[in-house]
Amino acid sequence: MPELPEVETTLRGLATYLDGQKIARVETRREGLRRPFPADLVQVMTGATITALSRRAKYGLLHTDRGVVMVFHLGMSGRWRIDPDALEKHDHLVLTTEAGARLALNDARRFGSVDLVADEALAAWATFAAMGPEPLGPELTPALLAARMKGRLSPVKQLLLDQAVVAGLGNIYVCEALHRAGISPLRQGQNVKKRELALLVPAIVDVLSESIAAGGSTIRDYAQPNGELGYFAANWRVYGREGEPCHACAAPIARVAQGGRSSFWCPACQK
């Protein structure tokens, strides 16, 4: 699944072709993705100018001069294709700008989504209202994490994946950040000390920032809008490395199932 760095990379790629551009044509090539496309999507977006592109958690936002934001989620396998030579079976939404750029939202599994939300309603939109702070923003602090983990018996790994605790963190980057901070994914949230959280917050920021700089992590179907692959997977310290030596201490990386997901960690380094 594309995670926060992949969505951020996608938006930066789209900005080159969409920022400040007018949408000349909108084509929906099926009824929707995980749920139907908004009934007025074609009407609202045709002729609209994209005034800005931004991100909230794992959602991409295309802001328009009509006071409406097109919010998209890439689901499990979604990606935007820029100026494809030909449209493919799974190109389900196509935007064409007045400048002639054609952008196709491709989603083979159709777990993604597209919504229209009024500018003034974004913060109160149910999906966003329930979310915690952005991990790359100033709101994420050791003190905030300490408050949200106080009295929590759930493992710290599960709490970090809870979008109400921190918005946008996914399995890969939580595994990597916990390793950098030396915290076991099995520890109860309430037992993680403030001094450890002081290491965890910058670890989260660093691992996300490094992945964005590398173009994200390519897993299965993900690619950047220009078709290039993300290369941060080469820098994974624990994720997907079960049985391989830890880069820090050479002990074998372990894997454990938590909440239906695999947690990768070094039992020697992470306590």
Average pLDDT, the chain: 93
The identity of residue 153, as a single letter, is L
The whole-model pTM stands at 0.91
Instruction: Give 158's Cβ-side CA count (13 Å radius).
Output: 15
H helical segments located in 170-257: 171-181, 194-213
The identity of residue 266, as a single letter, is C
Q: Mean pLDDT over residues 21-42, rounded?
A: 97
Confidence of residue 262 (pLDDT cuts 50, 70, 90): very high
pLDDT, tens only, 158-170: 999 999 999 999 9
Instruction: Quote the longest CA-to-CA distance of the chain.
Output: 58
- Give the pLDDT score at 217: 56
CA atoms of 242 and 137, how far apart (whole Å): 32
* Owner of token pair 């994946």: 161
CA atoms of 109 and 224, how far apart (whole Å): 17
Residues in the chain: 271
* Percent with pLDDT over 90 in the chain: 87
CA atoms of 131 and 106, how far apart (whole Å): 26
Q: Is-contact 268 249, C-beta < 8 A?
A: yes
- Give the pLDDT score at 77: 87
Local structure of 228: helix, strand or coil:
coil
172: exposed, middle or buried (Cβ count in 10 Å: 0-12, 13-18, 19+): buried
- Give the pLDDT score at 2: 81
**Max mean pLDDT range (75-79, 149-153, 218-222):** 149-153
Q: Mean pLDDT over residues 124-137, rounded?
A: 96
Q: Mean pLDDT over residues 95-123, rounded?
A: 97
Residues belonging to the active site: 2-3, 58, 261
Tokens of 191: 């037992």
pLDDT, tens only, 186-240: 999 999 999 999 999 999 999 999 999 887 654 444 445 655 544 467 789 999 9
Tokens of 72: 């998209």
State how far the alpha carbon of 209 is from the alpha carbons of 9, 100, 145, in Å: 11, 32, 19
